[in-house]
């Protein structure tokens, strides 16, 4: 069965009332609900649904957010068997997590899962070839080439990878603050803000660090931006993030052939810190990851 036939299967299935696009990351979940003509009927945001935070938790966040979307849109709540759902989820590159997620499908008739990076790529270039670097709690760079083959870089996950991401920036801000507490670095606006957030006493800060995960460290990223004008090391972190984005883009597109978009709120905030040549190449994404999830649904099912 080819992709067109599979897509027609959904469109011709009279039991399907709604198409659902999901963008699930480490900071939150976003959902849109459409009819079969892709007219958006409702949307909602909710708790994180990254697979690395637990499969059961991911499904619960998605279902809670979907329920909220139907409520906001004043839509009659359907049976899950009346819905086709496309999901771009952080952590879906882990085949074990992805397979377990499929196995725990609560009843959707048609389900397709891919990474949130790939659905972001599809949305950014309307399903056409191109390059994106998506930066949020985590980060990933992706290419869809002229043969519609895909390649990705980074996205290795917290704490070893995800360069330029919110969690990456927060982890480095915490490390600088540790140096301040030790007397290895003078106090600064960044260390003051971090300690105000996490706990001013060393024991309080150590306790925060012991309980912090990817999302917790990402909450420190705004403090780096707040400190950039008074703290040279904070500004250096942002410049380093911009250079990491350039490295991702060059690894994906060494011949500079493809359209490029930086995606995600944090990615947009880092545009001024990217090298000038990459700033000039960047164009705003056409649509977001939720729309990309619908394109995924149309491409694969």
Q: pLDDT at position 7, please?
A: 57
Answer CATH for 3-126+288-300 from 3.30.420.40, 3.30.830.10, 3.40.50.2000, 3.40.50.510: 3.30.420.40
pLDDT of 132-142, one tens digit each?
999 988 898 99
pTM (2 decimals)? 0.82
Domain extents for the chain? 3-126+288-300, 131-284
Report whether 193 contacts 241 (CB < 8 A): no
Asked whether this chain's domains 3-126+288-300 and 131-284 adopt the same fold, the reply is: yes
| Residue in 278, 281, 50 with CA at minimum distance from that of residue 155 | 50
The HSE-up count of residue 124 (CA atoms within 13 Å, CB side) is 27
pLDDT of 51-62, one tens digit each?
988 999 999 999
Q: pLDDT at position 81, please?
A: 96
Residue 276, classified by CB atoms within 10 Å of its CB into exposed (0-12), middle (13-18) or buried (19+), is exposed
| Residue in 69, 105, 108 with CA at minimum distance from that of residue 85 | 108
Q: What CATH fold (topology level) applies to the domain 131-284? A: Nucleotidyltransferase; domain 5 (3.30.420)
Cis omega (within 30 of 0) for bond into 74: no
pLDDT of 198-214, one tens digit each?
998 999 999 999 999 88
Q: pLDDT at position 301, please?
A: 37
């Amino acid at each position: 069965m080819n992709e067109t036939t599979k897509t027609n299967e959904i469109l011709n299935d009279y039991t399907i009332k709604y198409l659902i696009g999901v963008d699930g990351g480490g900071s939150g979940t976003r959902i849109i609900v459409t009819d079969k003509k892709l007219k958006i009927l409702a949307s909602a945001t909710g708790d994180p649904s990254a697979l690395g935070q637990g499969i059961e938790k991911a499904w619960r966040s998605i279902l809670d957010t979907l329920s909220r979307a139907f409520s906001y849109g004043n839509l009659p709540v359907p049976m899950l068997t009346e819905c086709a759902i496309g999901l771009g989820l952080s952590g879906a590159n882990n085949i074990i997590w992805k397979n377990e997620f499929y196995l725990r499908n609560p009843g959707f008739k048609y389900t397709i899962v891919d990474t949130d990076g790939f659905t972001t790529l599809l949305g950014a270039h309307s399903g056409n070839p191109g390059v994106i670097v998506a930066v949020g709690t985590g980060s990933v760079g992706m290419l869809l080439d002229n043969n519609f083959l895909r390649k990705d870089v980074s996205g290795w996950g917290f704490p070893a990878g995800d360069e330029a991401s919110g969690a990456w920036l927060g982890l480095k801000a915490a490390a600088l603050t540790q140096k301040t507490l030790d007397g290895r670095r003078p106090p600064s606006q960044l260390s003051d803000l971090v300690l105000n957030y996490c706990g001013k006493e060393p024991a309080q800060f150590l306790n925060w660090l012991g309980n912090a995960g990817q999302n917790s460290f990402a909450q420190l990223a705004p403090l780096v931006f707040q400190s950039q004008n008074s703290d040279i090391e904070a500004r250096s972190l942002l410049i380093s993030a911009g250079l990491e984005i350039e490295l991702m883009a060059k690894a994906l597109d060494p011949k500079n052939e493809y359209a490029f978009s930086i995606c995600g709120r944090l990615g947009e905030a880092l545009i001024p810190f990217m090298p000038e040549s990459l700033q000039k190449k960047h164009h705003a994404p056409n649509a977001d990851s939720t729309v990309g999830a619908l394109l995924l649904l149309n491409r694969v099912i």
